[in-house]
Amino acid sequence: MLRTFRFSKEIGWRNREKEYFGHLKNRYHVGNIGHEIKGIGFGYKCYKAFVKYNGYIVSDTSTSTQAKNIYIKLLKDDDIYHVINDKEDKIMLIWKDYPNTEKLMRIVKAEEKKSNKKFIYDDGLLKKL
């Protein structure tokens, strides 16, 4: 079941205390696209390609509103698994065919245990583990 997610206040790139999923910080920084190509799904296609190329990407509290909206849309994509942190302000998107998914999940699970937090896992991802 897909839930509505809240995102905490953005804190900016200068904050060195950012917390991701353990030390996993695979993020992209993309500038705004021109209004001429907004609304045609270009951002969605780019982010999906980033996930496929890298195996996974991670958002954080400084992710732009536009990028957060794309992450939320990608939560519904059949080619992608997701993990969401306990505050629901950070999302990890994982390509379903990523060969290192089990290794990645060991890192995420270790961070979850160490931080005493509860993450939300994609049902399909849980079945695979």
pLDDT along the chain (129 residues), means of 10: 37 38 52 70 88 88 83 94 85 92 89 87 87
What pLDDT is stored for residue 88 in this prediction? Answer: 75
Return the closest-CA partner of residue 83 out of 70, 101, 100, 69.
101
What pLDDT is stored for residue 81 in this prediction? Answer: 96
What pLDDT is stored for residue 77 in this prediction? Answer: 96
What pLDDT is stored for residue 31 in this prediction? Answer: 58
| Segments making up each domain of the chain, as ranges | 40-128
What pLDDT is stored for residue 1 in this prediction? Answer: 37
What pLDDT is stored for residue 18 in this prediction? Answer: 41
Spatial contact of 92 and 54, defined as CB atoms under 8 Å apart: no
